[in-house]
C-alpha cells in the first residue's frame, strides 16, 4: 500500500465511506485533533513510569483509534456494505469510561487533597502529560462543535471529557512519583 495517494492534492479528503470533504471540515479537525492527542499520549508513555500506567496508556491509544474512526464516519455511513457483509464501526462504551474513572479513583487515593489549582510543569514527564490534557480538552471542544452540526455518539464526548480528567490526575501522580514539587497557583491579591 502506498502512503501517498495524491487524492488530497486539491484540499479535500475522504471520510470513512468515501464522502469527500474539505480538509478544514470540522469532522477532519475533530479526528485530526484526536490523532494529535494520541501522539502526545505516546510521548507520555515513552517517559519513565510504572508498567501499569504504560499499559493503560497503550489501551487508551487503542481506544483513541476507535474514537477517531467514529469521528471519521458520517452518520449516514456508519454501516457500510462490503460485498455481502456489513462492516460495523467499532464503538466506545461505558466500560471504557468506567475504566478511566476507576483508575482516577485509585490514583487519587495516593495523592494529597487538592487545595488549589496547580501550575503545569515541574518535570518534562509531567509537562508532557499536561500538554496531552490540553490537547484532549481541545479535541472535546471540537467534538462538541461537530455534535452541534451533525450528532455523534454522546460517549465520544463523555470519553474525551473523562480522559482529560484522567490525564490531569495522572500528571499529579507523576509529580508525586518523580518527587517533584507541585506548584500551587495562588492568585495575586489586588
Residue-number span of the structural domain to which 63 is assigned: 22-177
Residue at 89 is within a domain:
yes
Q: Which helix (H) or strand (E) holds 158?
A: helix 154-177
pTM of the model: 0.87
DSSP-assigned beta bridge partners for residue 20: 14
Residue at 190 is within a domain:
no
CA-wise closest residue to 147 among 129, 135, 159: 159
Give first-to-last CA distance, the chain, whole Å: 62
Residue 176 phi, psi dihedral angles, 5° rounding: -65, -50
Q: What is the CATH number of the domain that holds 26?
A: 1.20.1200.10
Tell me the three-class secondary structure of 77-126, residue by residue.
HCEEEECCEEEECCCCCHHHHHHHHHHHHHHHHCCCCCCCCECCCCCHHH
Residue at 149 is within a domain:
yes
Domain count, the chain: 1
Residue at 78 is within a domain:
yes
Residue at 185 is within a domain:
no
Residue at 167 is within a domain:
yes
Helix or strand or coil: residue 170? helix
Residue at 114 is within a domain:
yes
CB 49 within 8 A of CB 125: yes
Residue at 104 is within a domain:
yes
Neighbouring C-beta atoms of residue 83, cutoff 10 Å: 6
CB 16 within 8 A of CB 77: yes
Give the cell for residue 157. Answer: 464526548
Q: In whole angstroms, give the CA distance from residue 69 to residue 89.
A: 7
- pLDDT tens, the chain, 190 aa long: 666 666 666 676 666 766 777 566 788 899 999 999 999 999 999 999 999 999 999 999 999 999 999 998 876 665 544 444 444 667 899 999 999 999 999 999 999 998 888 989 999 999 999 999 999 999 999 999 999 999 899 999 999 999 999 999 999 999 999 999 888 888 888 8
Helix or strand or coil: residue 39? helix
Amino acid at each position: 500500500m502506498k502512503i501517498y495517494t495524491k487524492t488530497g492534492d486539491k484540499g479535500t479528503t475522504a471520510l470513512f465511506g468515501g464522502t469527500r470533504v474539505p480538509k478544514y471540515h470540522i469532522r477532519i479537525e475533530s479526528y485530526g485533533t484526536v490523532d494529535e492527542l494520541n501522539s502526545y499520549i505516546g510521548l507520555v508513555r515513552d517517559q519513565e513510569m510504572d508498567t501499569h500506567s504504560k499499559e493503560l496508556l497503550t489501551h487508551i491509544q487503542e481506544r483513541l483509534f476507535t474514537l477517531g474512526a467514529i469521528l471519521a464516519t458520517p452518520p449516514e455511513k456508519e454501516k457500510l456494505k462490503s460485498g455481502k457483509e456489513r462492516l460495523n464501526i467499532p464503538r466506545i462504551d461505558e466500560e471504557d469510561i468506567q475504566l478511566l474513572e476507576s483508575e482516577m479513583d485509585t490514583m487519587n487515593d495516593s495523592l494529597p487533597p487538592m487545595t488549589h489549582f496547580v501550575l503545569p510543569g515541574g518535570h518534562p514527564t509531567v509537562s508532557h502529560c499536561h500538554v496531552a490534557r490540553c490537547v484532549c480538552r481541545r479535541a472535546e471542544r471540537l467534538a462538541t462543535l461537530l455534535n452541534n452540526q451533525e450528532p455523534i455518539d454522546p460517549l465520544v464526548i463523555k470519553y474525551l471529557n473523562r480522559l482529560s480528567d484522567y490525564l490531569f490526575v495522572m500528571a499529579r501522580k507523576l509529580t508525586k512519583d518523580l518527587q517533584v514539587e507541585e506548584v500551587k497557583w495562588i492568585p495575586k491579591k489586588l
